[in-house]
Structure 1
Amino acid sequence: MPDEPEAPHTVFADLGLSEALLRGVADAGYIHPTPIQEQAIPVVLMGRDVMGCAQTGTGKTASFVLPMMDILAGSRAKARMPRSLILEPTRELALQVAENFVKYGQHMKLNHALLIGGESMSDQRDVLDKGVDVLIATPGRLLDLFDRGRVMLADCKVLVIDEADRMLDMGFIPDVERIVSLLPPLRQTLFFSATMAPEIRRLADAFLQNPKTITVSAPASVATTITAGVAFVQPHDKREALRRLIRSQDVQNALIFCNRKRDVDVLHKSLSKHGFAAGALHGDLPQSVRFATLEKFKNNELQLLVCSDVAARGIDIGGLSHVFNFDVPFRDEDYVHRIGRTGRAGREGNALTLATADDVKLVAAIEALTGKPIPRIEIPGLDPVSAEELAEAASAPRGGRGRGRAAPAKGRGRDEPREIARRGNARHRDERRPEPRPAEARLVEARPVEEVVEAPAPLPPREERFQEPRRRDERRDEPRGGRRQDPREAGRPQRESQPRDQQRDSYRDAPRDDRRRDRGDSRRDDLGPAVLGFGDAIPAFMLIPIPRPRRDAAEAQPAPDGDAGSEAA
């Protein structure tokens, strides 16, 4: 049996921390710093920028919280002007950092503010108005309060970007870039992450000035205290396989990770139905429910916590014995963050993963990232996955065997099934389409124009084409055998029907009073000659009005000679 490694001889007192801070660390029960803390704390106390990369669970939070508190202990904060800023990708991480400030700074006169979504904004404004030394915030709520004029960042001297790779995954980089542009150029910037992708390194080069790079382990390594394993099962046996694993293992408390939020709710109901003390945690839940569920799990009121990747970054749950991956993560780096919740601070942990044949490529990507194979385990009583199925899935085109389990290829995303459906519909359309005729059958024999264009049919007589329409009341009251006479017209003389032109002439020659009585109003103008092209059936609104001179103007004009002589006589 190999010899046990010697305990580290460095203590927190050797790192240059103040006496009040050392008492808070001792009260928390810590004596020896972790490797990342041992290397980062002296550099941060010197005022240099730091880019730290260490595997999850190694104490990165204390490596920047402790020296920050020592730096800020010498002065006071102003209203709405925090002296330091810590950016976190999730609310749970921000709450955890705030708890560390309370735990370590119980003997120091420093105050902090927590700006996260889902909480009362008025309470957060009241805390900012009193002045805070440390501002712990998520990017969205911080920018919201800044746009409202409730916080100013001109006096911020220390900036911490925690879990930078998670910021990139969640799309916070534009918000982070805007926040950095609001800070003074003379500041100290600390960059910490569990993985260091090339994109993150480029961001660090843009934000940091002559940083000290601290790497205490491989960028995506797994702690040696974690016992990992993967079991390949059939898709319909995954829930039963999880229940058998939980019953066969000595599970004190465990996190169960799913890839999708709806799968979290479904699995939580299934476990609760089978008698397990389980809770659910994902981003769509209200903030109060998330905090209450997490507190119940930390207080051992819940044994199992089914969650999405929102809980995979930085959450410190003491004594977590197991991590179960109900779904293999789509990104290989998420596997490192998931299983890093167990085996922390030198404790033993177990990380078991359930996979189907469609997940064989995802498992291979994880093994390539960590540099070691994941041991295979078998669950008795379930249908095994044969080696032929695994080989077939491994040789299948990227994207899996039609179930979409593997990551989509570049340039082909979620619309690929839709494109396949379009191709299938096009194939069926081609099958339904009739066979094209030969070119000789499609030729049209040339004929003279006189034979092609037929002469128009003769029009009916004018009297038959244009008839005056009857009013609706006349058509309604007219019986089948003839027109019904209105009782009101019994004693009136019947006028003879005349053509439209004669009616217009008679209307024009009639006295004004008679015309008003006939038409029922006094607003209608005199009607002029008929409009060409309509014959006798001319709508009244298309008749051309003829202006008539006023009566007084006609009387004022001098009469002709003959008339004048007669009047004089």
Structure 2
Amino acid sequence: MTFEDLGLSPQVLSALADAGYTAPTPIQAGAIPHALAGRDVLGIAQTGTGKTASFTLPMIERLARGRARARMPRSLILCPTRELADQVAENVRLYAKNHKLTMALLIGGVAFGPQKDILDRGADILIATPGRLLDHFERGGLLLMGVEILVIDEADRMLDMGFIPDIERIVGMLPPRRQTLFFSATMPAEIQRLVSTFLNNPERVEVTRPAQTAETITQYLVRVSDNQPKTKRAALRAAINREGVKNGIIFCNRKRDVDIVARSLQRHGFSAAPIHGDLDQSLRMKTLAQFKSGELRLLVASDVAARGLDIPAVSHVFNMDIPRNADDYVHRIGRTGRAGLTGESVTIVTPEDRKSLANVAKLIGGEPKTLELDGTGQAPSAPAKSQETSEADAPEAAANDSAGNDAPARERGEGRSRRRRGGRGRSRDRAQGAGHDKAPAQAPVETVRPDSAPARPREDRPTRGERESEDAAVGFGDHVPEFLLRPAI
């Protein structure tokens, strides 16, 4: 089948030819004809199968006739992340270059004013993340009653990120008579509820079984003996140093680990940079551009930042941590082996990961095979402390101390107070830690002034409120100056 068989116009076919596309993917061949006919579509396909063109191409065709009015977009595409929204915008520019359609991109992390100016002039296609869209709507800069086509992309990720209430609110602002194109890689119960609510007798296009990994991806496990971060970083470096690793995306479960792993790789001479939601939007876009151009070899990412990104030539995916959610494993390794290319995924697992690994194996139909590093299935041991200690480890140690220390915060605070008062408590702790057989060189001596009154027991000392309620004036002892005793005139 070719794109000509799908009923697309010569202008769109010309743009596709210029982009180098000759044949539609299965999801495109299944969804585009129904979308062109105005039907609601439920598309279920894993990442990297061409979902974006499945809704942008028919949308461009249907919007080719007509004109947008100020602050009233004719179509709306909702995306879970800024990067995915920007990527969809790039595809729209590519496919619609032969049409006179206007587009607005509403994402956070960039200036509000230019977005408002585009909306005021009128936009045929509006691409947005839920949060920024609601910001514009609440400020009166956006009216949604003119939307003819609604697209919800990566719906299952919307669910994971907690956007479903926002999505329901946005859909409630749209006209009931509209076309809805709904795409998701998986179909949990909550997503099925949304489908029954938002879509009207949709045409279901399911290219592959939900949560099934692509056959173009070879999956490996690297087993390490413990859960120490240094051991896992050593195993990661050994896996990266294998032959054939052109570039790769490294996934971590926590954003703080993304920064730590990126700094550690940089210190060991690797071309690596982090990307996660706490970074400035301009820096995230610059990092992505460097990775796509080949200037950057390794991208260390969180699940949210990398979900849905279309980077066609990623040779490897590395899971620094096995995902908490088994579905995320499918989304992660789907960054490689795209567009017919082959790829590899390497997941580092520890003995504590048995349950999570079992969930992944159950979902994908089997456990990936173990990768032999240095002739064994065991990753190389972590380097000695003197070689490994660096600034990359400092934030990790501080974070582990704050997250894993079981001592109450009050006790830690008292310890710090004793050190500030002169270190007497620290000296006593050291003496006790050294053992009872070693006495301190000189016992601390407390000097008591002869004219001072004996100290009152702690429980007998008045509180601040009690002191303020006493008759004696605080600060003058027992003597009250006469001017304070004079009656007011």
Structure 2 match to 1:304: 298
- Please show how residues 95-114 of structure 1 align to structure 2 within 5 Å: 95-114=86-105
Counterpart for residue 167 of structure 1: 158
Aligned-residue Cα RMSD (Å) equals: 2.4
1:375 aligns with 2:369: yes
Q: 1:322 and 2:291 equivalent?
A: no
CA contact (8 A) 2:71 2:120 kept: yes
Indicate how the Cα distance of structure 1 residues 266 and 43 shifts in structure 2: closer, same or farther if over 3 A, else same. same
User: Does the CA contact (< 8 Å) of 2:68 and 2:122 recur in 1?
Assistant: yes
Change (3 A) 1:257 1:522: closer
Identify which of 357, 375, 378 aligns with 1:363.
357
Match of 1:537 in 2: none
Aligned to 2:451: none
* Amino acid corresponding to residue 95 of structure 1 in structure 2: D
- Displacement of 1:416 after TM fit? 12
Q: Of residues 158, 174, 182 in structure 1, which corresponds to 2:173?
A: 182
- Deviation digits for residues 417-464 of structure 1 (CA, Å, limit 9, x no counterpart): 98xxxxxxxxxxxxxxxxxxxxxxxxxxxxxxxxxxxxxxxxxxxxxx
Structure 1 residue 201 and structure 2 residue 195: aligned?
no
Query: Which whole-Å CA distance do the structure 2 matches of 1:241 and 1:118 have between them?
Result: 35
Which residue of 2 is the match for residue 134 of structure 1? 125
Inter-partner Cα distance in structure 2 for 1:249 and 1:196: 37
Query: What is the percentage of aligned positions where both structures have the same residue?
Result: 57
Q: Tell me, yes or no, if the aligned pair for 1:233 and 1:382 is still in contact at 8 Å.
A: no
Secondary structure at the aligned position of 2:64 is classed as: helix
What does residue 344 of structure 1 align with?
A: 338
Residue type of the alignment partner of 1:368: K
Corresponding position of 2:138: 147
**What amino acid sits opposite 1:204 in the alignment?**
V
- The unaligned stretches of length 5 or more in structure 2 are 380-402, 407-475, 480-485
The residue type paired with residue 342 of structure 1 is T
Within 5 Å, give how 1:228-307 maps onto structure 2. Answer: 228-234=219-225, 235-236=227-228, 237-307=231-301
Q: Is the 8 A contact 1:312 1:337 kept in 2?
A: no
Amino acid at match of 1:340: G
For the residues of structure 2 that align with 1:521 and 1:352, how far apart are their CA atoms? Answer: 86
- Correspondence for 1:52: 43
Which residue in 2 is equivalent to 1:515?
Answer: none
Deviation readout 1:296-346 (Å, 9 max, x if unpaired): 111111100111102332101121100000110000000000000000011
- Residue 347 of structure 1 deviates from its aligned partner by 0.4
Which residue type is aligned with residue 137 of structure 1? A
Which residue is equivalent to 1:353? 347
1:334 and 2:328 correspond:
yes
Contact 2:371 2:377 in 1 (8 A): no
Aligned to 1:353, the other structure's residue is in SS state strand
Number of the residue aligned with 2:21: 30
Question: Contact (CA 8 Å) 2:275, 2:301: kept in 1 or not?
Answer: yes
Q: Point out which structure has higher relative CO (alpha carbons under 8 A, 6+ apart).
A: 2
Q: Match of 1:351, SS?
A: strand
Runs of 4+ in 1 over 4 A off after TM superposition: 415-418, 520-523
Name the TM-score, length of structure 2 as normaliser. 0.77
1:125 to 1:377, Cα distance in 2 relative to 1, 3 A: same
CA drift at 1:522? 13
Q: Indicate how the Cα distance of structure 1 residues 109 and 233 shifts in structure 2: closer, same or farther if over 3 A, else same.
A: same
> Is the 1:11–1:31 Cα contact (8 Å) retained in structure 2?
yes
SS of equivalent residue, structure 2 residue 369: coil
Map 1:358-507; keep pairs closer than 5 Å.
358-380=352-374, 384=378
- Tell me, in whole angstroms, the C-alpha distance in 2 between the residues paired with 1:202 and 1:382: 48
Report the CA distance shift for 1:375/1:521 in structure 2 as closer, same or farther (over 3 A). closer
Larger radius of gyration: 1
Residues 1-12 of structure 1 aligned to structure 2 (within 5 Å): 10-12=1-3
Q: Could you tell me which amino acid in structure 2 is paired with residue 288 of structure 1?
A: S
Secondary structure at 1:228 match in 2: strand
Q: How many residues align?
A: 390
- Secondary structure, in 3 states, of the residue corresponding to 1:243? helix
Q: Which amino acid aligns with 1:348?
A: T
